[in-house]
Amino acid sequence: MTSLSKHFMATDLPQADERDAAQPDAHRKEDEETLFAMSLVPTLKRLPQQRKAAVKVKIHQLLFEAEFNEMESI
């Protein structure tokens, strides 16, 4: 191992918890949305294909309306 590679060993890199501490809100928020989306998967998998497609369209519609402040129809 060269001295340069010793310098850049993985132990010198910030660990995951150190990176999370540096950006706690951004990382936590991303995890919150990911976890929520993943919680929908079991229910979607139980639905028949046609109903699943309709639900996905409605989810996208709700998100579009929420993003562009068209909340009166929600």
What distances in angstroms separate CA 65 from CA 50, 52, 62, 68, 69, one per listed residue? Answer: 23, 20, 5, 5, 6
Identify the pLDDT of residue 69.
83
21-27: which pairs have CB atoms within 8 A and are 24 or more residues apart?
A: none
pTM value?
0.54
* Tens digit of each residue's pLDDT (9 = 90 or more) over 1-11: 555 445 444 44
Q: Which residues of the chain have pLDDT under 50?
A: 4-5, 7-11, 13
